[in-house]
Amino acid sequence: MQAAKVRTTHLREKKARGEKIVMLTAYDTPSARLADAAGVDAVLVGDSVGNVVLGLPSTIPVTLEAMIHHCAAAARGVERALLVVDMPFMTYKISAEQAMANAARLMQEGGAEAVKLEGGAEIAPIVVRLAAAGVPVMGHIGLLPQSVHQLGGYRVQGRNAEEAERLVADARALRDAGAFSLVLELLPAAVGCQVTAAVDIPTIGIGAGPDCDGQVLVFHDVLGIESAPKRFVKVYASLGPVILEALRQYAADVREQRFPAAEHSFPDFRF
Ligand code: KIV
């Protein structure tokens, strides 16, 4: 029997029941289909598509058009999981009108069921407008990859009491603005725990410790495809070397004329 479609409300119910939430990134139809079949609660079409798939140096050059394109592809692979998409750099901070117009495109053309925005209390007025317009918003605090140049690198955030308090205040402001959940990225485990306890909406951590209400990882990191080792990632398969070896064998078979063999060729037609 097909399991029930995951809705934003289900994530909140999971927090209330103390059940962990599982989110994974996906950027195309086959990876989204595999994530969905594995039973993840949410598929995130992250703007990490820039670094992970498009060969870009950061998420900053990722465009709205690219996110719509990848989200629509992922949507074709997802039946059950909640489909969340990142709003890319500078597509939601200029004005609430800009955010609403771009969220509409991500939902109508990309098939997203929720959008994720990076930022704290300063974007609360935009979250209010999106939520009031019926757009489910996932917040994202802690390390904000779209602000990497301002933050001075991909560093753990919330490393003193003042920063931790600001993160709690940001989480509360986003919750009050109508966000249905929050990603917490790269925080000391104690701060991940503190933020999670401070809000009644679910927190989904990446490098933010075990006490978040759920966890999110990047597809290629989990599967060991072309990714650098990271402390906060658990690698469940090493597919990079497996793929490389398979492709080497294919190249050798063609060069040595072992492929195509008779079974890969169509017999002659007789008229
Ligand atoms: O873009 C992304 O993949 C993300 C996750 C790291 C949470 O924002």
Q: Is the CB of 25 under 6 A from ligand 1?
A: yes
Residue 137: strand, helix, or coil: strand
Q: Is the CB of 86 under 6 A from ligand 1?
A: yes
Residue 117: strand, helix, or coil: strand
Q: 259 and 250 in contact (C-beta within 8 Å)?
A: yes
Place of tokens 């917040």: 139
Measure the CA–CA gap between 110 and 86, rounded to whole angstroms: 11
Residue nearest ligand 1's atom 8 by CA: 46
- In terms of Cβ atoms closer than 10 Å to its own Cβ (0-12, 13-18, 19+), residue 166 is middle
Q: Is the CB of 221 under 6 A from ligand 1?
A: no
For ligand 1, the distance from its centroid to the CA atom of residue 96, given in whole angstroms, is 22
The pairing of beta strand 21-25 with beta strand 137-142? unpaired
Closest ligand 1 atom to the C-alpha of 218? 3
What angle is formed at CA 196 by the lines to CA 190 and CA 198, rounded to 5 degrees?
Answer: 105
For ligand 1, the distance from its centroid to the CA atom of residue 110, given in whole angstroms, is 17
Which residue of the set 97, 163, 185, 226 is catalytic?
A: 185
DSSP 145: G
Contacts of residue 9, defined as CB under 8 A and 6 or more positions apart, other chains included, come to 180
Q: Is 118 a catalytic residue?
A: no
**pLDDT truncated to tens, each residue of the chain (271 aa)?**
568 999 999 999 999 999 999 999 999 999 999 999 999 999 999 999 999 999 999 999 999 999 999 999 999 999 999 999 999 999 999 999 999 999 999 999 999 999 999 999 999 999 999 999 999 999 999 999 999 999 999 999 999 999 999 999 999 999 999 999 999 999 999 999 999 999 999 999 999 999 999 999 999 999 999 878 899 999 999 999 999 999 999 999 999 999 999 999 998 877 6
For ligand 1, the distance from its centroid to the CA atom of residue 216, given in whole angstroms, is 8
Query: Of the candidates 255, 141, 160, which has an alpha carbon nearest to the alpha carbon of residue 205?
Result: 141
Residue nearest ligand 1's atom 4 by CA: 46
Q: Is the CB of 218 under 6 A from ligand 1?
A: yes
Place of tokens 């753990």: 156
Residue nearest ligand 1's atom 3 by CA: 46
DSSP 59: S
Amino acid at 119: G
Q: 237 and 226 in contact (C-beta within 8 Å)?
A: no
